[in-house]
Chains A and B, each alone.
Chain A
Amino acid sequence: MNTGIPTRETDTGGTSSGRAKPVDLATRETARAGLLLVAPAVIITAVLVLYPLVKGFQTSLESADTAAGGTPHFVGLRNYGDVLSSSTARDAIVHTLLYAALAVTLELVFGLVVAMTLYRVFRGRGIVLAILILPWALPSVLSGVLWRRVLDPDRGLLNSLLEQLHLVSHPHVWLASRGGALVFITLVHVWGVLPLVSLILLAGIQSIPEEVYSASAVDGATPLRQFRHITLPLLRPSIAVALTVGTVWAIKIFDEIYVLNGTALNTRSILMEVYTITFVDADFAHGTALAFLLTALTMLFAAAYAVALRRSTT
């Protein structure tokens, strides 16, 4: 491939027939420039993404007893079978689907509320929008750490508030029960992702021409009917994008769980289970197998939304 920056001189020197045709020359120069400019990205993708993925897939097909000194040998899909029949991994998959379903529902509902509230011009809108993206910009471990004081069982603000209001008689260990813990971790997660979903929906709403509304207002449509029959249908592409983003982020939930509840079994997500298998039990083969199952799950959702999006736009 090219070694240096192609200039006009090297180009003319290299062409035997195209010298008289400036169009060809420009095309060749462009092609060279293009290849050279994408080369670093292509090399990084090949060496640091695709190669490790192939290596990883290979690991997931090999026996797990390498730590004990044995040489890895090919075992086919056995690791995948092992992982799928382990009850902790199955629980982790169920938890992850619960996190994702709850998170995406909350993000979509509140995202629509935020977008509908903020799409019109008002005084101070710029400041409100700047504050809106703050939770997305802040590291999720740090916000998780800051939420801890709210949920702490002994001196937590939530327990104290509920006790003062006489809603509970004794402090509740919020992260110990499965249901409560899943809900609280999801809320902390939603806190960070809601801005992104809101922005996507906001951009969608703003792209709907104002005339559509004024025409229907003349026909006597109420705001609620306008929302149902104009906004929602026209917003479908943005909703598909928001669903994709929300699902992809929720499926790989980890940071919030780690800082709020560690590797506790009752809140383990798939990624937390992968982490535990690989780095606590030092079992790369099974960990990688589960990680590839997670990848497949993510791609399945992304593909489903892509199909839905294509169907709704054509």
Chain B
Amino acid sequence: MINKQSVNQKVAIVPTESDGNLLNNKLLARFIRSKWYPALFQWLTASAFIIIMYQLLVGPSKAHDNLGTALTWVLWWPLIPIIFLLLGRFWCAICPFATLSDLVQKFVGNNRPMPKFLKKYGIWIIDAIFILITWSDHVFGIVESPWGSGVLMLGLTTGVVVSGAFWERRTWCRTLCFLGGLSGNYARTGMLALRGTPEKCSKCTIAACYQGTVNAPGCPLFEFPKTMESNANCNVCGHCVKNCPNDSIRLTLRFPTKELWTMRKPKIEGAFLSVVIMGIVFVQNITMLEVWQSILSWLENVTGTQSYYVTFTITFFVAMIIPVLLLALAAWIAKKLNGDSLLQNFAKFGYAIIPLDIAAHIGHNLFHMLAEGKSVVYTAMALFGKNVEGLSPALLDSGSIQILQYILIVLGVAGSIYTAYRISKHNYGQGNVVLKFAPYAVLMLLLMVVNIALFMLPMAMRM
């Protein structure tokens, strides 16, 4: 920690220009520098989390009647990708699990360095956990079962407590949380960017943003704004804003997907997560379609077993592997055109799928939010003895929801194709850029067709 005196000595440097920095707004800057940010939001979400956990574990056994299920899977889960798109990883700053981690750390934390294996394989671990949770959800019916959802939360809570008790900062959020991995990827397309001002940071020798001061702890996600190029691991918690003695931190709005255009070190595991998310969206959609039972019956006949574990696992594997193979195929074709290796192509252009991921993710969950949204109100009313019978939980009719889903997918594909184009332009210059990214454009169009086809079929409710 750096003492207050050394911080105050540096305060003289002030920003001199208005350059789209949201922190130039005095009210916002004052709020972010105050003790109320992000504490105010943290306590709100922590309170909601306690209600949700109580409902999931001891509330009505049926998802249809459970406020915890409604708040988690009908309201929060559909909103989360929208939050990532608008505000980057802001959710991670106010996530109740992170608050719990901070509390545990404050009182009993050992603050040991993040283990090397987590540092090295963090994203792969996240990939694996994400796939495992999605598989478990379908096999054990986690979303449909309040108790199942509660047990999932208890498992996550235990992981958070262990991480907070022994390791420094938010090791859990950075290297283990499946939602953290998802949010990291989605935040790359986010409209909010936090960075240091290079001219100021270059003269800085105290690194208060990373180390922490009496004003606030250091960056919880191990980021150093001076060298930060991505918002994947910035949760906009405001600690660096509070700590920086040079007013170097800038918070700006940017064009969605912009960060993806010029990534210097695309990672294969990050690209893999992007494409796996598309597979997960496929699985989520397929299993909620009314045609799913027919697919299951067919699989039962083919495999000769009625075990859902077997039939679903096959479906899950196929749905996961199809987008991965398609991207690999596109990368294989593209390598002949752009000269990069297959893996380089996979890593560079895998990120271009993220806009479509977000669109498909929002599109799928939009159905739940808009077709079942009122269940949040109904289940909340039931807590006070006001039972609502026979009323539709829908906020919008299914036809209108479908149109919104199609619009989202088209926007997502446009975003993905444009991103692939920009990546191609950034990497291969002006000549033959269109040809070099053409295989990816075809891939995005194909994924668009699959997504639209899935949205055209009737879908089952969550509640």
Do chains A and B interact in one complex?
A: no
